[in-house]
Amino acid sequence: MNLPKRRIRLLIVDDSPQVRRILAEGLGADPAIEVVATAPDPYAARDMIVKYRPDVMTLDVEMPRMDGVEFLRRLMPQYPLPVVMVSSLTRQGKRITIEALAAGAVDFVAKPTDNLAQGLEAMMLELRTKVKIASVANVSHYKGRWQAARAAGADRASAIGEAADKIIAIGASTGGTEAIAGIVAKLPVNLPGIVIVQHMPAGFTGLFAERLNAINAISAKEAASGDRILPGHILVAPGGRHLRVVRSGAVYKVSCEEGDKVCGHCPSVEVMMQSVAEQAGRNAVGVMLTGMGSDGAAGMVAMRRAGARTLAQDEASCVVFGMPGEAFQRGGAERLVPLERIPAEIVRLVRQIGKG
């Protein structure tokens, strides 16, 4: 992780004085982070952003005067700033968190509910890490943000050919929820089945799948063991479970099982892509999107060696160019593609399957 040489200037926004104090003490204890200010609500935060010019902001999801989502919607087009959301684990808190990611937040952490002492320690460790990742995130594109628009009906329904025996595998982490949503919105409805690993904890992946289902013509759901991979359908790996593709005769299905973290994650892109390489081989297309680290890089190499077609998001359009960069550097991704061109590239590669 290439972090700035100077300390990261951090603004903390939370309506609870106690939470502000806990976050300020916990984050300020890290020698790489300087808490320059705290704010009780977005109105105060707006003034402090102008005064202190923070590098990163942590933002409470649920606040009384203006919630975090509405603040982000107003802030990001005018003043793009890397933001890490601090979310509650209530269903409403999770739903608002998904909306916050759509509005421009880089990532989120969940507040602990059980075993507060141990949970708080784990949360602070995660939050420190994500503040550091956010400090190198590229959010400049929110100024002239690419709004994923649905393509015209003729393009959305363009013929893909034999879609049932093909698979599209997409991996993403930091910044991936909106990259995925934007891509899916432009894909034809009769495209081969799509399997997705987006780094998220349990409880959030289901809501992310619901959001994809609500905003797109392509059907989306959180995956469960035994689900078939069908044309025009998306299966999102559930948080806390690895998704593997398995072949049964002419049918592709998924297996979703708990397991140790792989490349630091569960679900892991690596696990999914290795299974796609083994089970689908040349009948697959692999796509690596924005994210920190190298999860899936070796799996994409395996996919390419098995004859699959592959691509990765280019650096300029990534929030974090870790996973795509690694996949390309190791030879797993054939080429780097700007985010807005990825839907058309997926369609092109799918059409080429079986022709080479």
CA–CA separation, 348 vs 160, rounded Å? 9
In percent, the amount of the chain with pLDDT more than 90 equals 79
Q: Are 304 and 279 in contact (CB under 8 A)?
A: no
Q: Please say if the pLDDT value at position 356 is more than 70.
A: no
pLDDT at 155: 45
Task: Give per-residue pLDDT as tens, 295-345.
Answer: 999 999 999 999 999 999 999 999 999 999 999 999 999 999 999 999 999
pLDDT at 93: 86
In percent, the amount of the chain with pLDDT more than 70 equals 92
The count of residues in the chain is: 356
350 vs 157, higher pLDDT: 350
pLDDT at 331: 98
Q: For the chain, what is the mean pLDDT?
A: 91
The residues annotated with a catalytic role in the active site are 173, 199, 295
What number is the average pLDDT over the span 229-251? Answer: 95
What number is the average pLDDT over the span 119-131? Answer: 93
Task: Give per-residue pLDDT as tens, 296-305.
Answer: 999 999 999 9
pLDDT at 149: 40
pLDDT interval class at 215 (50, 70, 90): confident
354 vs 186, higher pLDDT: 186
Q: Are 281 and 253 in contact (CB under 8 A)?
A: no
pLDDT at 161: 52
The answer, yes or no, to whether the previous bond of 77 is cis (omega within 30 of 0) is no
pLDDT at 354: 73
Task: Give per-residue pLDDT as tens, 256-290.
Answer: 999 999 999 999 999 999 999 999 999 999 999 99
Task: Give per-residue pLDDT as tens, 158-186.
Answer: 445 556 789 999 999 999 999 999 999 99
3-class secondary structure per residue, the chain: CCCCCCCEEEEEECCCHHHHHHHHHHHHCCCCEEEEEEECCHHHHHHHHHHHCCCEEEEECCCCCCCHHHHHHHHCCCCCCCEEEEECCCHHHHHHHHHHHHHCCCEEEECCCCCHHHHHHHHHHHHHHHHHHHHCCCCHHHCCCCCCCCCCHHHHCCCCCCCCCCEEEEEECCCHHHHHHHHHCCCCCCCCEEEEEECCCCCCHHHHHHHHHHHCCCEEEECCCCCECCCCEEEECCCCCEEEEEEECCEEEEEEECCCCECCECCCHHHHHHHHHHHCHHHEEEEECCECCCCCHHHHHHHHHCCCEEEEECHHHCCCECHHHHHHHCCCCCCEECHHHHHHHHHHHHHHCCCC
Q: For residue 294, which amino acid is it?
A: S
90 vs 286, higher pLDDT: 286
pLDDT interval class at 3 (50, 70, 90): low
Task: Give per-residue pLDDT as tens, 27-44.
Answer: 999 999 999 999 999 999
